[in-house]
Structure 1
Amino acid sequence: MVVWIKKQGFENHPRAFLVLAHGAGAPADSPFMETLADALEAQGVATVRFEFPYMEKRREDGKKRPPDRQPKLLQCFSEVVESVRKDMPGNALLLVGGKSMGGRMASILATQRGGIDGVIGFGYPFHPPGKPDRWRTDHFDKIDCPFLLIQGTRDPFGKRDEVEEPGRSIERADLHWLEGGNHDFQPLAKQQSSQRTLIEEAAVASGRFVENILAG
């Protein structure tokens, strides 16, 4: 069921292990995921990437498919988490997270099973683009571990002005905004920045998040 892409940094005694799920349309070894995993490793966060069953099938035959239903996604995610838990040293943190849909599944998983020390969402899909009435945060108040969302300010799945609108009930999550970033952390052409720079900023924010958890 699971495609293991890479276990980064296990041999370097990292302070945290992040089980990192891909988004709905791109695989676990997409350029975004590769760059993010490398940037996180530089912050002392080892990553384990995997693919959900529908993406594994796409890798086998090249045919695009919609994501599996939520129960199947969560079952797969949970199995990977359990496998990682058995391999990692006991003094390291176990985090779950992901890009877009993967981050959403990570946050839901954290409401269903214990032993998760933190959740990180990269480009959280607060709502489908153009449909701000379909908010996807009802489960946030059930997450009982530290929770970080890293979001581009112009992400169509949740722009800053939408997310910070009064009454949105996202107090449970810490937010880090990437100025000018879209859903894939691409900045505006006029900015003196790049996608890699924003991804590295996301990794630094993740590293601080880990430090805060370790500090208690």
Structure 2
Amino acid sequence: MGGGRTRSETVPTPAGDARITWHDATAARTVLALGHGAGGGVEARDLQALARVLPGAGVTVALVEQPWRVAGKKVAPAPRTLDTAWRGLWPALCAPGLPVVAGGRSAGARVACRTGEALGAAAVLALSFPLHPPGKPEKSRAGELTGAGLPSLVVQGGRDPFGRPGEFPEGTRIVEVPEGDHGFAVPKRAAVGQEEALALLTDAVADWLSGLTPTARP
């Protein structure tokens, strides 16, 4: 099952215009909506890898650019504003009439966790979930993850300063990318190369998505 076309659309939200870049599967069964982090956009290596691979597995990937990025701003707004924009663009993500899995990397993962259940998402994918600020494990955001209320998968780098896999709450479904940092970059000395690390990530997500059903709950 091969991937189909790529297309973009601008979607107005109460926080400004967002942009969705669709990577269509030719026979899609699910939409995976992915938001970006606070320090970058949809060009992140993990988001691009998923958009490249998953359409061939029957998953249409929607890469979502928040209004602040579309407007060319350098600093992300408050979480409340990110959530407002995500809620505003959600109907566009549901337009194909398929189950939608809410996801994202870093700040985008937090948005998906906070809003997914209320929006009717089928599940939540958290890439590089920022469990705490670097060096401040006491400032945990675990409640956002555990409170998502939906089937959830975390994919985390083994040396992510925002939270290593072993720091997550017991019961978290988590896949570790060995020696990956917050952007899933692996050092040259690592036993797993960069392409292998990304393949591990995309394979894990594809396997997880294939086991989901629209009515699944934790």
User: Shorter-normalised TM-score: what interval?
Assistant: 0.7 to 0.9
Q: Which structure 2 residues correspond to residues 87-102 of structure 1 after superposition, within 5 A?
A: 87-89=95-97, 92-102=98-108
**Contact 2:123 2:152 (C-alpha < 8 Å) held by counterparts:** yes
Deviations 1:93-149 (A, max 9, x none): 2101001111111111124x1421010011110011111111001133432221000
Equivalent residue of 1:213, what SS?
A: coil
Alignment partner of 1:83: what SS? helix
- Which residue number in structure 2 is paired with residue 193 of structure 1? 192
2:91 to 82, 88, 105: 82
Q: TM (normalized to structure 2)?
A: 0.83
User: What's the % identity of the aligned pairs?
Assistant: 25
Give the partner amino acid of 1:64: K
Distance 1:5 1:29, change over 3 A: farther
Partner of 1:69: 78
Cα distance, 1:31–1:138 mapped onto 2, change above 3 Å: closer
Residue-by-residue CA offset, 1:162-199 (whole Å, 9 max, x unaligned): 33xxxxx453x311111111111112322243333222
Matches within 5 A, 1:1-216: 1-10=16-25, 12-58=26-72, 64-65=74-75, 67-85=76-94, 87-89=95-97, 92-111=98-117, 113-163=118-168, 169-171=169-171, 173-214=172-213
Higher relative CO (CA 8 A, sep ≥ 6), structure 1 or 2?
Answer: 1
Q: Which has the higher helix share?
A: 1
- Two-structure CA RMSD over aligned residues (Å): 2.1
Query: Is 1:19–1:81's contact at 8 Å kept on the other side of the alignment?
Result: no
Q: Matched residues in 2 for 1:101 and 1:189: separation?
A: 27
**TM score, norm. by length of structure 1:** 0.83
Taking the aligned partners of 1:182 and 1:30, their CA distance within structure 2 comes to 13
Other structure's SS at 1:110 match = helix
Q: Which moved more, 1:22-31 or 1:129-138?
A: 22-31
Distance 2:167 2:36 in 1: 24
- Size of the aligned set, in residue pairs, is 200
3-state SS of paired residue (1:9): strand
Q: Deviations over 1:53-98 (max 9, x none)?
A: 221222xxxx522x1111210111112221111x213xx3210100
Stretches of structure 1 that go unaligned for 5 or more consecutive residues are 164-168
> In the alignment, residue 211 of structure 1 is paired with which amino acid?
S
**Structure 1 stretch 35-44 or stretch 113-122: which is displaced more?**
35-44
Q: Secondary structure of 1:4's partner?
A: strand
Structure 1 runs of 4+ off > 6 angstroms?
A: none
Question: Would you say the 8 A contact 2:18–2:70 is kept in 1?
Answer: yes
Unaligned runs of 5+ in 2: 1-15
Whether the 8 Å CA contact 1:137–1:170 is kept in 2: the answer is no
